Amino acid sequence: MDQKVSESHTLQHYDLYIDGRDVPCDRTMESLNPYNGQPWAVVPDAREEHMDAAVAAARRAFDEGPWGRMTATQRGALMRKLADIIARDAEELAQIECRDNGKLYREMLGQWRYIPEYFYYFAGMADKLQGDVVPSDRTNFFIYTRREPVGVVGAITPWNSPGLLLTFKLAPGLAAGCTFVVKPSEHTPVSTLELGKRFKEAGFPDGVYNVVTGQGALGAALVRHPGIDKIAFTGATDTGKKIAASAASNLTRVSLELGGKSPNIVFDDADLDVAANGAIAGIFGATGQTCMAGSRLLVQESVHDALLDRIVERTKQIRLGNPMDAETEMGPVANEPQFRKVLDYIEIARSEGGTLCYGGQRDPDLGGFFVQPTILSNITNDMRIAREEVFGPVLSVIKFRDEEEAVRIANDTRFGLAAAVWTKNIHRAHRVAHRLRAGTVWINAYRVVSFLTPFGGYKESGLGRENGADAIREYTETKSVYVELTGEPRDPFKLG
């Protein structure tokens, strides 16, 4: 299993997962394997009535079912069981995602082996979520606060890392006591459906976890549904804006983890070999299909050519191929619309004056949706390739003179998700990190996340935070409770 995973050519068929059981649907759609462009699974293309049923099931589980009556400790115990089952099935789930989105099996396996840690962490936090005793300005009142679950959560997840990015929402939300209706991307729905079996095996009450698959209109129906208390979305910024506007009609709470155009800043005192590896990992890892991709490489003038030469030479050696093979270093783009978009952006960059250093086209030797890892130099920060999210294996290299210019270029973007600083100067490292307007900053590293650490963006990269202690607060409401201590009649027309 660690060396090479055999491919199945049998179409897998799935039902919706609603109220603890499989629910058939009269409409279906095919999920394509990006490696060969062929269908490998058949999944439901649900109607709005299925969404209504899922929301109703989640509402019953929250308001009336055993889930709402469980103690936080009991919820945590179920989450630990779920984590154990996911750990047991990590290889199977990784294979599923590899076929669904074309990412490397070894990367997906690493993710699924790490996902249980999120559930263990938040399971432990479930019964540590507590309110405060508030000092009273009146002698006859005792005042305290409670942290209570926000209610029914609608989770809308993307195609790039469906299991991990769903876990970012599920783990804190379940710990807080919420129930879920999940609408995964129509391109990568299978692992989300597969999780339903694991919830059932772990003993979660019916209705706590529901999955409704279908086209984008189904997600819109979820956002505007009056039975939803919160929307948790990961995806494109423009879509996130539409979701926020639609959710506002019901005053539905939202958390949005959106796009990025993250600066990867290399100063002239950096270790160039290490920085070159970091730049390659930041943009070509996951075929560049990650919101935190280091798509803008900012390089100090004096080391620009030397660093670019290193990156180009290493990029030429990147092995494209079957994502199931252990030797493969970069897989295909996840779906045809994204494949076309990436190629279009490369042509736009060249038309604006960018210099193609390597790549720039569909790989001539492979089928499916393979785009060569692409490096563009002579990019200025006003070009579209430097300002708009490509979400593919395209690196834009930008020169800068000094620290002031580096920070100015880095912050000159509507996004603010992530950034990195490469330098041996500890004073500069912290100084620049503090000035960057981004939710995550790495120093001499790139593309590292943890269940312990908040993740989210500034500006148009989103609202709210996922992971870490901050995340669970996104799934709770604060209730203030006043307790009158004397029992004596009060003046009904006097406040307090």
Could you report the per-residue pLDDT of 99-108, keeping only the tens digit for each?
Answer: 999 999 999 9
Task: Pick the range with the lowest mean pLDDT from 98-107, 238-247, 268-277, 482-491.
Answer: 482-491
Query: Residue 9: its pLDDT value, please?
Result: 64
Once rounded to an integer, what is the mean pLDDT over residues 201-221?
97
Round to whole Å and give the CA distance between 40 and 26.
19
Query: Residue 5: its pLDDT value, please?
Result: 44
Homologous superfamily of 12-258+457-480 in CATH?
Aldehyde Dehydrogenase; Chain A, domain 1 (3.40.605.10)
Query: Residue 6: its pLDDT value, please?
Result: 47
Query: Residue 7: its pLDDT value, please?
Result: 53
Average pLDDT value over all residues in the chain: 96
- pLDDT over 90 at 492, yes or no: no
Once rounded to an integer, what is the mean pLDDT over residues 357-370?
94
* Crossing angle between the packed helical segments 162-176 and 72-88, to the nearest 10 degrees: 160
Query: Residue 2: its pLDDT value, please?
Result: 37
Task: Pick the range with the lowest mean pLDDT from 322-331, 432-441, 484-493.
Answer: 484-493
Query: Residue 390: its pLDDT value, please?
Result: 98
Once rounded to an integer, what is the mean pLDDT over residues 238-251?
97
For 129-139, what is each residue's pLDDT tens digit?
999 999 999 99
- pLDDT over 80 at 198, yes or no: yes
Q: Where are the domains of the chain?
A: 12-258+457-480, 263-443
For 143-157, what is each residue's pLDDT tens digit?
999 999 999 999 999
Query: Residue 496: its pLDDT value, please?
Result: 65
Query: Residue 493: its pLDDT value, please?
Result: 84
Q: Any idea which residues carry the catalytic annotation?
A: 257, 291
- Has domain 263-443 been given CATH number 3.40.1190.20? no
- pLDDT over 60 at 1, yes or no: no
Round to whole Å and give the CA distance between 59 and 55.
6
For 366-419, what is each residue's pLDDT tens digit?
988 999 999 999 999 999 999 999 999 999 999 999 999 999 999 999 999 999
Round to whole Å and give the CA distance between 216 and 37.
21
- pLDDT over 80 at 8, yes or no: no
pTM of the model: 0.95
